[in-house]
Chains A and B, each alone.
Chain A
């Protein structure tokens, strides 16, 4: 699990370089992605399904991205965009098309539904993350200065 989180951090770091994130912000962006992947794994181990785990991880990712953005005075996008990639259902797209081609309709429907659920959960995670008013974040910063 530790190796997985480290790999996720490196993956997010390299993708933030692909999106030309300013060099001094790459570390924070990568850290954010690593934390999100850790929380995904953690929730999965507690027995949550992929959709619920994605929801929790995305929510945490978005909130942390907003905190970092406040702290560093940069747009939220920088910390959010690369970090979302481990959660995006790339494997869902692959297996859905694979089962479709193999005419394994039962698995195709199951995997396709799961992919849509995960995409929806990511959407909800981002929306909830942004729905929290800025005041709470400012309050959190004042209470726990870092």
Chain B
């Protein structure tokens, strides 16, 4: 592999890893630029979308090379983004040669996700706290904790099985609504709506919304639109899941009136 090609591959691999773990478009572009500049490649072009990278270097010489990469929208892992940010900073300060850069990239890639048990516990804790701050009482928070944990277990399972995000959002929010309605139907004095609001928090598209706004602000309209569409569709899926369960509940004789 020629020297040019190897550097371009390194830069695109690093950009790929950033994009995959939820980096913004301008950060990915900047990182690739800085790396190419640090290794003294002069003639280059990079175009990044929220699910793809196009890059070329030295188009006008014999050593020309280009790379196209498809990057699926993935889960957010901010720890890896921080690590890669550190790596790219060191590369652009020329503290890091090609060989170490590859090794470091491999290290960044292998930063693990938190253990499923940890994820489950903290999802439950987060859900119960949200239930509380949106006006639930202590009992609601306890139920939100339980349902939030079950929801997270389901989400981890679907991530492994690579189920479509739409289905997992609809089923997840439907489950949460069903569980809260069940508790309400048992006659416990819970605020059913607060439990649902707390528990749909892990599904709510906060990340997609933030990323899309930042992309739009930086002038990456296409990528911003992709994330905005993602956020809107996710919100709609949650509405469908919650709504279907409430409709079903209307048909149960003797249902307690809601709200």
Residues of A bordering B, CB below 8 Å: 3-4, 7-8, 10-11, 14-22, 25, 37, 73-75, 77-78, 80-81, 84-86, 88, 90-91, 93-98, 100-102, 119, 122-123, 126-127, 130
Contacts and interface: CB of A to CB of B under 8 A. Distances in A.
A126 B210 contact: yes
Contacts, number: 146
Interface in B176-224: 193, 196-197, 200-202, 204-207, 209-210, 213-214, 217
Given A8-B129, A11-B129, A84-B206, A123 B213 contact: yes
Q: Which of B133, B217, B239 has the most CB of A within 10 A?
A: B133
Interface of B: 22-24, 27, 76-83, 85, 89, 111, 113-114, 118-119, 122-123, 125-126, 129-130, 132-134, 193, 196-197, 200-202, 204-207, 209-210, 213-214, 217, 235, 238-240, 242-243, 246-247, 258-259
Contact of B122 (A14, A73, A85, A119): A14
Q: Which of A11, A16, A102 has the most CB of B within 10 A?
A: A11
B125 A19 contact: no
B134 A126 contact: no
Contacts of A127: 213, 217
A21 B246 contact: no
B126 A20 contact: no
Given A22-B78, A84-B210, A77 B23 contact: yes
Contacts of A93: 200, 204, 235, 238-239
Nearest to A5: B133
Contact of B24 (A25, A77, A86, A91): A77
Contacts of A22: 78-79, 82-83
